[in-house]
């Protein structure tokens, strides 16, 4: 493999992704960023604006500032920070709203922990990139609000969602309240991710303790010790409420968990045994996730064991995480099949997911490589998975020859 050519491709792709979002995301009329843009790059000026989209834009351009040192990425990062602070932060009850209207008024003011986590993630990276004291102060405030209202001190982990005033709610968005799915893998994965980002800029003992607690949640409750696949939906007592295999989340977690342990151990030598344990877990998770890898180089989306249904969609975000997760496993094991899968994931992405006409990535393709969806920008279609994959690959490939 010509790693220099691969690095050049990924560097250019990262630049192209950022250029797309600089050109098509900003909303010149209502401020902030459009809530939806279609495959023809036509914005929907009336689409609601979600905190996940806005905080992922904040993270993406903050990370670009750190890795490229190009000041032309600063304006989008600044714009995202100011918009979140002015329109998403709840001045009365704390935390952030799930979504606002196109004009920036609260639309879904519930306190979804997934949204709080991504806000913390973006704010932490922005503070790291710019040294912004207001961003770090807000990040600390969001962290403390999450712990105060949503942390379960008895059973561990965080409850899924709350009403605007942090009272109980049945509006969970990512899970089903009628099935008592009060704790989810997805939310916990990104809470861990956000705490790791915060710890880089604020190495406080309370954050370190929360990271250790979250890693314990994954080892004790979320990752199945026999299959090394993750349970997706659980109740307050960590009883599994619904089963499925999410190949994309499994390969994503296979590198995010070791990353958290690495950041923790870098400042705390006593956490070295935990770091070793989590690295081993990540390798086993990558091996298990490889079951979703298909002969064409794509990763299947999900498998439902109860119905034996295999969702063969090759989603843009799953492919991005496959690139990083398999390369991370190769770094930890030096086993070439992991490297082959990482590179094949990029080759698949180049061939089927890059929109060479209108820019950015398609949402996905089916098993026959037919393009799916119609959103380049949406509540969920954001620049974080693919831009992050480029940066992670570039950083890791520097150590390979």
Q: What pLDDT, on the 0 to 100 scale, is given for residue 177? A: 84
Q: Quick one: what percent of the chain has pLDDT higher than 90?
A: 96
Could you tell me the end-to-end alpha-carbon distance of the chain, in angstroms, rounded to an integer?
9
Half-sphere exposure of 258 (CA within 13 A, CB side): 23
Q: What pLDDT, on the 0 to 100 scale, is given for residue 243? A: 85
**Which whole number is the average pLDDT over 176-190?**
94
The per-residue pLDDT for range 256-279, each reduced to its tens digit, is 999 999 999 999 999 999 999 999
Are the beta carbons of 119 and 145 closer than 8 angstroms?
A: no
The per-residue pLDDT for range 123-138, each reduced to its tens digit, is 999 999 999 999 999 9
pLDDT at 222 over 70: yes
Distance between CA atoms of residues 98 and 89, nearest Å: 10
Distance between CA atoms of residues 142 and 97, nearest Å: 12
Partners of 233 in beta bridges: 184, 242
Residue (of 50, 54, 127, 141) closest to 93 by Cα position: 141
Task: Name the token pair of 213.
Answer: 């607690």
Residue (of 77, 62, 99) closest to 378 by Cα position: 99
pLDDT at 1 over 80: no
Q: What is the pTM of this model?
A: 0.97
The per-residue pLDDT for range 20-52, each reduced to its tens digit, is 999 999 999 999 999 999 999 999 999 999 999
> Would you tell me the crossing angle of helices 205-217 and 272-289 to the nearest 10 degrees?
40
Residue 369 Rama label (left phi>0; alpha psi -120 to 50; beta): left
pLDDT at 90 over 70: yes
The per-residue pLDDT for range 146-164, each reduced to its tens digit, is 999 999 999 999 999 999 9
**Which whole number is the average pLDDT over 304-325?**
96
In the 3-class helix/strand/coil scheme, how is the chain assigned residue by residue? CCHHHHHHHHHHHHHHHHHHHHHHCECCCCCCECCCEECCCCECCCCCEEHHHHHHHHHHHHHHHHHHCCHHHHHHHHHHHHHHHHHHECCCCCCECCEECCCCCEEECCEEHHHHHHHHHHHHHHHHHHCCHHHHHHHHHHHHHHHHHHECCCCCCECCEECCCCCCCCCCCCCCHHHCCCEEHHHHHHHHHHHHHHHHHCCCHHHHHHHHHHHHHHHHHHECCCCCCECCEECCCCCEEECCEEHHHHHHHHHHHHHHHHHHHHHCHHHHHHHHHHHHHHHHHHHHHHHHECCCCCECCEEECCCCEEECCEEHHHHHHHHHHHHHHHHHHCCHHHHHHHHHHHHHHHHHHECCCCCCECCEECCCCCEECCEEECCCCCCHHHHHHHHHHHHHHCCCC
Question: For the CA atoms of the chain, what is the radius of gyration?
Answer: 20
Q: Residue 400: which pLDDT band, with cuts at 50, 70 and 90?
A: confident
Contacts of 53 (CB under 8 A, 6+ apart): 33, 35, 377, 378, 379, 380, 381, 382
How far CA 85 is from CA of 41, 108, 309, 336, in Å, comes to 27, 16, 43, 46
Q: What pLDDT, on the 0 to 100 scale, is given for residue 115? A: 98
Are the beta carbons of 104 and 87 closer than 8 angstroms?
A: yes
Task: Name the token pair of 193.
Answer: 């991710």
**Average pLDDT, rounded, for the chain:** 97
Partners of 371 in beta bridges: 365
Residue (of 222, 254, 375) closest to 321 by Cα position: 254
The per-residue pLDDT for range 47-86, each reduced to its tens digit, is 999 999 999 999 999 999 999 999 999 999 999 999 999 9
Q: So what's the architecture of 3-397 in CATH? A: Alpha/alpha barrel (1.50)
Are the beta carbons of 211 and 264 closer than 8 angstroms?
A: yes
Backbone angles phi, psi at 40, to 5 degrees: -90, 10
Task: Give the pairing of strands 371-372 and 375-377.
Answer: unpaired
Half-sphere exposure of 31 (CA within 13 A, CB side): 16
Q: Residue 401: which pLDDT band, with cuts at 50, 70 and 90?
A: low
Q: Quick one: what percent of the chain has pLDDT higher than 70?
A: 100
């Amino acid at each position: 493999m010509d790693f220099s050519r691969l690095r050049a491709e990924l560097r250019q792709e990262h630049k192209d992704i950022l250029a797309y979002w600089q050109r098509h995301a900003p909303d010149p009329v209502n401020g902030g960023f459009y809530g939806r843009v279609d495959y023809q790059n036509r914005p929907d000026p009336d689409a609601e604006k979600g905190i996940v989209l806005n905080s992922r834009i904040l993270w993406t351009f903050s990370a670009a500032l750190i890795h490229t040192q190009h000041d032309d990425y600063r304006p989008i990062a600044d714009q995202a920070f100011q918009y979140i602070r002015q329109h998403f932060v709840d001045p009365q009850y704390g935390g952030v709203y799930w979504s606002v209207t196109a004009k920036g008024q609260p639309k879904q003011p519930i306190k979804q922990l997934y949204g709080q986590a991504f806000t913390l993630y973006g704010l932490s990276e922005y503070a790291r990139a710019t040294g912004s004291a207001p961003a770090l102060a807000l990040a600390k405030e969001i962290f403390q609000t999450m712990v105060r209202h949503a942390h379960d001190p008895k059973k561990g982990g965080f409850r899924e969602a709350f009403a605007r005033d942090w009272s109980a709610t049945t509006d969970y968005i990512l899970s089903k309240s009628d099935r008592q799915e009060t704790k989810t893998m997805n939310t916990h994965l990104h809470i861990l991710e956000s705490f790791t980002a915060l710890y880089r800029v604020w190495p406080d003992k309370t954050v370190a303790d929360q990271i250790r607690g979250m890693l314990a949640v994954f080892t004790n409750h979320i990752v199945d010790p026999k299959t090394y696949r993750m349970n997706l939906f659980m109740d307050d007592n960590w009883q599994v409420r619904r089963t499925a295999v999410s190949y994309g989340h499994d390969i994503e977690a296979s590198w995010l968990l070791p990353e958290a342990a690495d950041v923790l151990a870098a400042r705390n030598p006593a956490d070295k045994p935990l770091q070793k344990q989590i690295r081993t877990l990540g390798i086993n998770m990558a091996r298990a996730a490889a079951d979703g890898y298909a002969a064409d180089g794509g990763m299947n989306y999900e498998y439902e064991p109860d119905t034996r249904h295999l969702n063969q969609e090759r989603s843009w975000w799953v492919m991005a995480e496959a690139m990083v997760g398999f390369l991370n496993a190769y770094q930890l094991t030096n086993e070439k099949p992991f490297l082959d899968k990482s590179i094949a994931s990029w080759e698949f992405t180049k061939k089927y997911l890059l929109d060479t006409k209108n820019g950015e990535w398609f949402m996905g393709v089916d098993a026959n490589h037919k393009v799916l969806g119609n959103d380049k920008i949406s509540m969920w279609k954001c620049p974080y998975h693919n831009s992050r994959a480029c940066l992670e690959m570039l950083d890791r490939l520097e150590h390979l020859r």
